[in-house]
Structure 1
Amino acid sequence: MLASLSLILLCQLIGEAVVRGLALPLPGPVLGLVLLLVLLLARDRFARLARGPLRNDGVETASKGLLAHLSLLFVPAGVGVVQKLDLLASHGIAIVLVLALSVVLTLLATVLTFRLISRLLKQQDAR
C-alpha cells in the first residue's frame, strides 16, 4: 500500500511541477490525476495484450483507504474558515448571494444542456 500511495503522490507531484513549469491554468493535482489514469489504463492494456491476469497492484487499495478517510482532508478547510470568520462576517451577504446566483446559473445551464441534447437525440432517432 505504501508503494501505491507513493505512486499517487508522485503523479500529483509531477502534475504540480508540469503546471508550475509551463504556467498552465490548471490545478496540478488534476493533471496528476489524469497522469495516474493514463498509467492505469496503460497497465490494463499491456496486461490484456500479454493475455495475463490483471494483478491488483494496490493502487485500488490505497485509493479506497484514502476515500474511507476523506473527511480528514476537510479539517484544514474547516480551520481556514474558522480563522477567517471576521472576513466572512463582513462579506457574508455577498458570499451568500454569489453562491445562490452560481447555483441558479448552474441549474439553468444543466437544464438547457439537457434540453438541447434531448432535442438532438430525438432528431437523430427520427432519421
Structure 2
Amino acid sequence: MIQGLSWLLLFQLAGELLVLLLDWPVPGPVAGMALLFLALLWRGGPGRRLAQASSQLLLHLSLLFVPAGAGVVLYGALLARDWWPLSVALVASTLLAMAVAALLLRALLRRSRRDPEQR
C-alpha cells in the first residue's frame, strides 16, 4: 500500500516539476496524472500495489470534497457576486464533457464492432 501511494505521489511530483520547468498553464497534478496514464499504457496496466492504493483512495473519495465545501463557505460572497458567469461556465463545461464522452463512446463502439478479433 505504501509503495502504491509513493508511486502516486512521485507522479504528482513529476507533474509539478514538469509544469514548473516548462511553464505550462495546467495544474501539476493533472500533468502527473497524464504521466501516470502514459506509464500505465506502456506497462500494460497497474501493478498490484498501485491498484490496491488506488482502491483504498477511491473508498475514501468523499473526504476529498471537504476542502471544496470549505472553499464554498469561505468564498460565499464572491460566489454570490459572480454566480451568473460561474453558472454559464459550469453548464457549458458539463455539456461539452458529455458531448465528448458520447462521441468517444460511439467511436469506440464502432471500432469494437469492426475489429472483434482484437479484443
> 1:43 and 2:43 equivalent?
yes
Report the CA distance between 1:28 and its aligned residue. 1.5
Which ranges of structure 2 fall in alignment gaps of 5 or more residues?
111-119
Tell me which residue corresponds to 2:5.
5
2:70 to 57, 63, 79: 79
Opposite residue 25 of structure 2, the aligned amino acid is: P
The amino acid that maps onto 1:40 is L
Q: In the alignment, which residue of structure 2 is the partner of 1:29?
A: 29
Residues 21 and 104 of structure 1: CA distance in aligned 2, closer, same or farther (over 3 Å): closer
CA RMSD of aligned residues (A): 3.3
Gaps of 5+ in 1: 46-53, 122-127
- 2:58 aligns with 67
The CA distance in 2 between the partners of 1:81 and 1:104, in whole Å, is 19
Q: 1:106 is matched by which residue type in structure 2?
A: L
Q: Distance in 2 between matches of 1:105 and 1:39?
A: 30
Number of aligned pairs? 106
Distance 1:34-1:104 versus aligned 2 partners, 3 A rule: closer
Normalised by the length of structure 1, the TM-score is 0.65
* Deviation per residue, 1:7-61 (Å, 9 max, x gap): 101101111111111101222112212222233334349xxxxxxxx9x431001
- Under a length normalisation based on structure 2, what TM-score does the superposition of the two structures give? 0.69
Residue 113 (structure 2) aligns with: none
